[in-house]
Amino acid sequence: MAHHKSAKKRILQTAVKTERNRYYRTRIKNITKAVHEAVVASDKVAATAAFSIANKQIHSLVSKGFIKKTTAARKVSRLHKLVNAIEAA
């Protein structure tokens, strides 16, 4: 257990950051899952709507510094390929 005031503060700060990061990680998983479910259902309208939301949410996490710009671009690109594949099928 921490004995110094600064160490106690770091423990509290870490707990807050961990909770915030857990929320964002879960958010990314849920929005990508919504796109995947719409693609599996072959619903182009729903997939496009879900992709639009996912794109906005993922890029907002970049501005907050949660994920890197290249990571966001990769995730969005993969989702976009899935949505576009519905037309071809």
d(CA 76, CA 68): 12
d(CA 26, CA 20): 10
d(CA 86, CA 78): 13
Q: What is the pLDDT of residue 31?
A: 96
Q: What is the pLDDT of residue 37?
A: 96
* Backbone Cα Rg of the chain: 18
Q: What is the pLDDT of residue 89?
A: 56
- Total-model pTM: 0.82
Q: pLDDT tens digits, residue range 4-50?
A: 999 999 999 999 999 999 999 999 999 999 999 999 999 999 999 99
d(CA 50, CA 31): 7
Tokens at residue 1, please? 């257990």
Q: What is the pLDDT of residue 19?
A: 96
